[in-house]
């Protein structure tokens, strides 16, 4: 039981890293990244391949973050002028293409068999204590990342980023380099996804294209939305809520008699998707609303809202 | 060589004609409701399953099967839209189109897992007579595939007639063109939104059923195609119905011709590249005029 909790806690740490990245890019920067899982996979494969080639693990992890960040910045640069829902299509497609490459470039990734036997750090020395060590390591990283992001978001950089999110034109008029801020936010988000993927790869010692599917992106969107998609603390708490839900559905589904493995897995996925829909409907601001980020205009302002992009969503009246 | 090329062209048109139906649906919903509905994928699969059930349990022939596929996918589309997406659309904010898009992915995932729960992950084939492929001047084409093209064209024509001749169709175009002006004229948006969703998802359902007759249906039938469907719709400009058909046919042909240089597994890559290039270079679709006028 203890080892199960340690395992689940470690996974929650990975989710927290991904959620922090998404809060950074989406919540604070306004850049949706539906291809999040693509960057997770990129980091995981980079790290696994480098460690397979004999490089030490800390270099693998830095490289994983760097590769994901670089690809993220490049993608963000290409799509810099796209509005939100178009960005959603492109990022979603991008992750799909990455997964195709993972599946089919067998010379590099071993295809759908996946890469197994990925080295775990210090596993030989630690023996049974490895699981605890990795749990602590993961959460220390989460702590460091949260601390640094928090510092970043309080800095002028963070304010400028939120200005870009809320109104690009105003930010540009105020002399902020909109493009650079966007690239930084998206790049940091991608780097964190890559780091999360790398940690995952060395923890389970096995990765395959099937691990990095759109479902994971939806999971992280759920975590971030539950916690309030602009808040760092919300990302961590949302990740804990996500893992609680994921594991709870596992037990509940097992209670129903006569279900096969496929049906149990479907039930869990169904539960996650429905929860995301409900959360979006009932509390789109999450548990932690934006409190201290608006300027001193007092009451909630209508914002640039309805004229977003070229076309407003049809209002259903009632 | 020339026959090879022609064969690719014909294959591409066959794929494109099938993709055209869900692409039309996506475009219709985006035009009238103003958001990208990713759950087209799940409704396509719904149509395929409905058609498969009607065909294998009730032994219905092609046309009733397609009617059932249309109705089931359309009805499911409207119901899920009202339950899952409409409450989010009502909140006016800059993030709304995006939020609805994200939720529509979750909706698609929920439906897909429901199919997997009910029918398992296996491939299900229709019980239709298999006709021998015809050969016209060295080019091979299946009878069913020929039917598919005819049906796709027929539906597109029907849709065009509906939009140009009926009052409802005109009202829908008015909403697509300018929702505020349409409301001033007393056009009621909720009913139109439902109708657009019904027709759009119904088209996706027919596309799914035709596709499944040609191959088979499993829970991921729709989500495997979503990139290609989007490519058709985006290349056509996302708000133009004729554009969606042309875009889908173009994507079908490009995808097949891409096989000359790409391994078949990378067919989605052409779709992705097409989406990217279109959105970057001509967000109004490649058929828009130089001035960017779309409608």
ipTM over 0.90 threshold: no
Closest-CA distance, B32 to chain A, in angstroms, reads 7
Look at residue B53 in the predicted model and tell me its pLDDT. 95
Chain-chain contact of B272 with A94 (C-beta, under 8 angstroms): yes
E strands in chain B: 134-136, 139-141
Considering only residues A104 and A39, tell me which one the structure prediction assigns the higher pLDDT.
Answer: A39
pLDDT single digits (tens) B131-181: 777 777 778 888 888 888 888 889 988 988 998 899 888 888 888 777 778
Contact B154, B17 (CB under 8 A): no
- Cβ within 8 Å, pair A215-B32: no
Give residue B200's pLDDT band: very low, low, confident or very high (50, 70, 90). very high
Q: Is B101 helix (H, G, I), strand (E, B) or coil?
A: helix
Alpha carbons B254 and A66: distance in angstroms, whole number: 34
Q: Which residues in chain B are closer than 8 Å to A111, comparing Cβ atoms?
A: none
Q: Does the pLDDT of residue B228 top 70, yes or no?
A: yes
What part of B 45-104 touches A (C-beta under 8 Å)? Answer: 84, 86-103
Task: List the single residue in A104, A303, A308 with the smallest CB-CB distance to B97.
Answer: A308
Are B155 and B21 in contact, with CB atoms under 8 Å apart?
A: yes
Query: With an 8 Å Cβ cutoff, are B102 and A221 in contact?
Result: yes
Q: What domains are defined for chain A?
A: 2-282 (1.10.3470)
In which band, very low, low, confident or very high, does the pLDDT at A285 lie, cut at 50, 70 and 90? low
Sign of CA dihedral B3, B147, B129, B120: positive
pLDDT value at residue A318 = 38
Nearest alpha-carbon partner for B244 in B229, B257, B255? B229
Q: Which of A129-133, A286-290, B137-141, B245-249 has the lowest mean pLDDT?
A: A286-290
Q: What is the pLDDT of residue B74?
A: 97
Q: Which of residues 188-227 of B touch A (CB under 8 A)?
A: 188-190, 193, 223, 227
State whether B276 and A78 contact (CB < 8 Å): yes
| pLDDT for the residue numbered A289 | 54
Chain A residue numbers touching B121 (CB-CB < 8 A) = 262
Tens of pLDDT along B67-106?
999 999 999 999 999 999 998 888 777 677 788 888 999 9
- pLDDT higher at A184 or A119: A184
Predicted confidence (pLDDT) at residue A292 exceeds the cutoff of 60: no
Contacts with A300 (C-beta within 8 Å, 6 or more apart), sequence order: A294
The residues in B 4-23 lying below 8 A from A, measured between CB atoms, are none
The residue that leads in pLDDT, B99 or B50, is: B50
pLDDT at A287: 56
Bridge partner list, A207: A115
* Cα A80–chain centre separation: 20
Q: Average pLDDT in the B28-57 region?
A: 93
Choose the most confident range, by mean pLDDT, from A1-10, A101-110, B202-211, B267-276.
B202-211
The kind and range of the H/E element at B271 are: helix B267-281
> Left if phi > 0, otherwise alpha if psi is -120 to 50, otherwise beta: which for B215?
alpha
Interchain contact B242–A (C-beta under 8 A): no
Give residue A84's pLDDT band: very low, low, confident or very high (50, 70, 90).
confident
Whether A301 has a pLDDT exceeding 70, the answer reads no
Extents of the domains making up chain B: 2-222
Most B-contacting residue of A81, A221, A274, A315 (CB-CB within 10 A), to test interface: A315
Q: Name which of A33, A85, A167 to mutate to probe chain B: the one with the most chain B Cβ atoms within 10 A of its Cβ.
A: A85
Extract the tokens encoding A271: 């539960």
């Amino acid at each position: 039981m203890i080892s199960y909790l340690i395992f689940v806690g470690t996974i929650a740490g990975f989710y927290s890293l991904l959620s922090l990245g998404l809060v950074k890019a989406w919540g604070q920067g306004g850049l949706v990244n539906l291809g999040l899982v693509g960057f997770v996979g990129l980091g995981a494969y980079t790290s696994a391949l480098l460690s397979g080639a004999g490089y030490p693990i800390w270099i693998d992890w830095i490289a994983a973050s760097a590769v994901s960040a670089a690809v993220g910045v490049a993608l963000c640069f290409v799509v810099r002028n796209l509005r939100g829902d178009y960005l959603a299509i492109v990022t979603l497609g991008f992750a799909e293409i990455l997964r195709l490459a993972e599946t089919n470039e067998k010379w590099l990734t071993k295809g759908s068999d996946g890469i197994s036997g990925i080295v775990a750090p210090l596993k030989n020395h630690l023996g049974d204590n490895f699981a605890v060590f990795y749990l602590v390591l993961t959460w220390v990283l989460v702590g460091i990342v949260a601390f640094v992001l928090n510092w970043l978001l309080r800095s002028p950089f963070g304010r400028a980023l939120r200005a870009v999110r809320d109104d690009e034109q105003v930010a540009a008029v105020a002399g902020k380099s909109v493009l650079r801020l966007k690239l930084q936010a998206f790049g940091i988000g991608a780097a964190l996804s890559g780091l999360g993927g790398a940690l995952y790869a060395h923890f389970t010692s096995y990765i395959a294209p099937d691990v990095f599917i759109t479902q994971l992106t939806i999971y992280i969107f759920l975590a971030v939305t539950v916690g309030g998609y602009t808040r760092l603390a919300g990302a961590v708490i949302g990740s804990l809520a996500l893992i609680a839900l994921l594991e709870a559905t596992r037990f509940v589904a097992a209670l129903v008699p006569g279900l096969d493995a496929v049906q149990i897995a479907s039930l869990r996925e169904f539960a996650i998707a429905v929860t995301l829909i409900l959360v979006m409907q009932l509390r789109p601001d999450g548990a932690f609303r934006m409190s201290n980020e608006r300027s001193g205009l007092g009451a909630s302002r209508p914002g640039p809202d309805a004229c977003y992009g070229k076309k407003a969503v049809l209002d259903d009246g009632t | 060589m020339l026959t090879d090329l022609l064969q690719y062209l014909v294959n591409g048109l066959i794929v494109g004609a099938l993709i055209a139906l869900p692409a039309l649906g996506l475009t219709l919903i985006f035009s009238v409701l103003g958001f990208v509905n990713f759950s087209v994928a799940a409704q396509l699969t719904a149509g395929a399953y409905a058609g498969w059930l009607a065909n294998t349990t009730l032994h219905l022939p092609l046309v009733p099967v397609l009617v059932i596929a249309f109705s089931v996918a359309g009805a499911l589309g409207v119901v899920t839209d009202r339950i899952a997406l409409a409450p989010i659309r009502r909140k006016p904010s800059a993030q709304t189109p995006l939020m609805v898009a994200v939720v529509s992915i979750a909706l698609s995932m929920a439906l897909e897992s429901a199919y997997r729960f009910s029918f398992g992950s296996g491939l299900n084939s229709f019980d239709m007579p298999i006709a021998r492929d015809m050969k016209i001047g060295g080019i091979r084409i299946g009878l069913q595939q020929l039917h598919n093209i005819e049906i796709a064209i027929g539906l597109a024509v029907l849709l065009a007639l509906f939009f140009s001749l009926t009052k409802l169709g005109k009202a829908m175009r008015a909403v697509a063109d300018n929702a505020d002006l349409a409301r001033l004229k007393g056009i009621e948006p909720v009913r139109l939104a439902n109708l657009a969703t019904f027709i759009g998802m119904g088209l996706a359902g027919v596309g799914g059923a035709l596709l499944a007759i040609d191959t088979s249906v499993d829970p991921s039938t729709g989500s495997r195609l979503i990139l290609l469907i989007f490519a058709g719709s985006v290349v056509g400009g996302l708000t133009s119905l004729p554009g969606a058909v042309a875009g889908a046919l173009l994507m079908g042909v490009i995808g097949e011709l891409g096989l000359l240089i790409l391994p078949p597994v990378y067919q989605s890559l052409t779709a992705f590249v097409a989406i990217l290039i279109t959105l970057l270079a001509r967000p109004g679709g490649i058929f828009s005029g130089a001035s960017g006028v779309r409608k």
